[in-house]
């Protein structure tokens, strides 16, 4: 089974977190789901470099602070295994540019569950709600 390694960012602006919606995809289980911005780690790239690159590509965004690793999620999707490293980071503004996603929302912790998240993101959302 194919395995992909991904990095993603929980971006805070004040007490809100950026949630972004994927475009339509032939894989229905990820199609139009909400996720945290990020993407695949390329060969030879560090996790940090991959995340900076992906945030710039997807949102034209440069974090003012990038935290240590928050969580690594292992999730088995029907067609591939996902290993996703998640980092918290801080923004000093709420304006972002959506280069790949179809919508975005800044939500406080208590509202995160209202979105239709990709299955791999559920443990991240739960941990955020329980422990911040
Ligand atoms: N970035 C990101 N990807 C996630 C999350 N949750 C989740 O299941 N994924 C999955 O991880 C994979 C990330 O790949 P991607 O397509 O975003 O990566 P990429 O930007 O490098 O894309 P590319 O292959 O078009 O260059 C997708 O299958 C996506 O559905 C998440 O919270 N953030």
pTM of the complete model: 0.96
CA-angle at 9, arms to 122 and 41, nearest 5°: 100
Answer whether 59's CB lies under 8 Å from 76's CB: no
pLDDT value of position 66: 87
Q: Is the CB of 39 under 6 A from ligand 1?
A: yes
Check whether 55 has a pLDDT greater than 90. yes
Q: What percent of the chain has pLDDT over 70?
A: 100
pLDDT digits (tens, 9 = 90+) for 98-123: 999 999 999 999 999 999 999 999 99
Q: What are phi and psi of 55, to 5 degrees?
A: -65, -35
Alpha-carbon gap, residue 89 to 37, rounded angstroms: 11
Give the atom of ligand 1 at the shortest distance from the alpha carbon of 37: 1
Q: What's the burial of 53, exposed, middle or buried (CB within 10 Å: 0-12/13-18/19+)?
A: middle
* Domain positions in the chain: 2-131
What is the CATH number that goes with domain 2-131? 3.90.79.10
Owner of token pair 């690594």: 72
Q: How many angstroms does the Cα of residue 126 sit away from the middle of ligand 1?
A: 20
Q: Is the CB of 120 under 6 A from ligand 1?
A: yes
ipTM metric: 0.94
């Amino acid at each position: 089974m194919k395995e992909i390694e991904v990095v993603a960012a929980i971006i805070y602006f004040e007490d809100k977190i950026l949630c972004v919606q994927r475009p339509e995809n032939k894989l229905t289980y990820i199609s139009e789901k909400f996720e945290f911005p990020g993407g695949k780690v390329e060969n030879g790239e560090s996790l940090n470099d991959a995340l900076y690159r992906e945030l710039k590509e997807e949102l034209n965004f440069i974090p003012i602070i990038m935290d240590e690793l928050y969580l690594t999620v292992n999730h088995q999707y029907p067609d591939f295994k996902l290993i996703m490293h998640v980092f918290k980071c801080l923004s000093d503004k709420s304006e972002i540019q959506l280069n790949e996603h179809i919508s975005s929302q800044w939500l406080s912790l208590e509202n995160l569950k209202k979105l239709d998240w990709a299955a791999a993101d559920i443990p991240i959302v739960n941990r955020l709600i329980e422990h911040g």
